[in-house]
Amino acid sequence: MQAVYRLSDMLAGVMAIIGGVMIVTMMVHVTVDVIARSVFNLPLPGTITIVSSYYMVAAAFLPLAYTELKKGHVAVELFYDRFNTVVQQHLSGFADLLGVVIFGFMSHRALGEAMSRMARGASSMDGSYIIPTWPGYFIVFAGLALTTMIMAIGLIKYVDGLIRARA
């Protein structure tokens, strides 16, 4: 099981790095587009579509699993901090269970949407260029699915802790 934990940690880290690289790439792409548009009156074709369908999607969804791994998502700790550690562990286990259900559902829906868009060959027209947009939907699925996996591993660790405590 330790191999699965290490693999999921590594995948979450790689996805977060890719998300960061997409932010830098987006900044460079937009800067080059602005310069090309302003100086040479030659905008880069498809910039808006590429930014919105790929860079922003990757920057938003790929790091989700890493954020969950580091317990960095927004949390309301108004009452949580007042509970003892046993209650906090049970609340965290419940949050992981709820997260697995919700993110699992969203992953399932995202995969269905990605497959549908791929089958239709979803694309966007920018001037005389056709830019396929369907691959961006698989980015959403990848981020959500890995986040679901990280939450499921957290839930497994929680249940394992309960079993070990009773033994």
Q: What is the pLDDT along the chain (167 residues), one digit of tens a residue?
A: 788 889 999 999 999 999 999 999 999 999 999 999 999 999 999 999 999 999 999 999 999 999 998 987 777 777 888 889 889 899 999 999 999 999 999 999 999 999 999 999 999 998 788 999 999 999 999 999 999 999 999 999 999 988 888 87
Q: Are 68 and 150 in contact (CB under 8 A)?
A: yes
Q: What is the pTM of this model?
A: 0.89
> Which residues on adjacent β-strands are paired with residue 130?
125
Q: Are 26 and 47 in contact (CB under 8 A)?
A: no
Phi, psi of 129 (to 5 degrees): -105, 135
Give the residue among 62, 89, 59, 87 at the shortest CA–CA distance from 161.
89
Distance, CA of 79 to CA of 120 (rounded, Å): 48
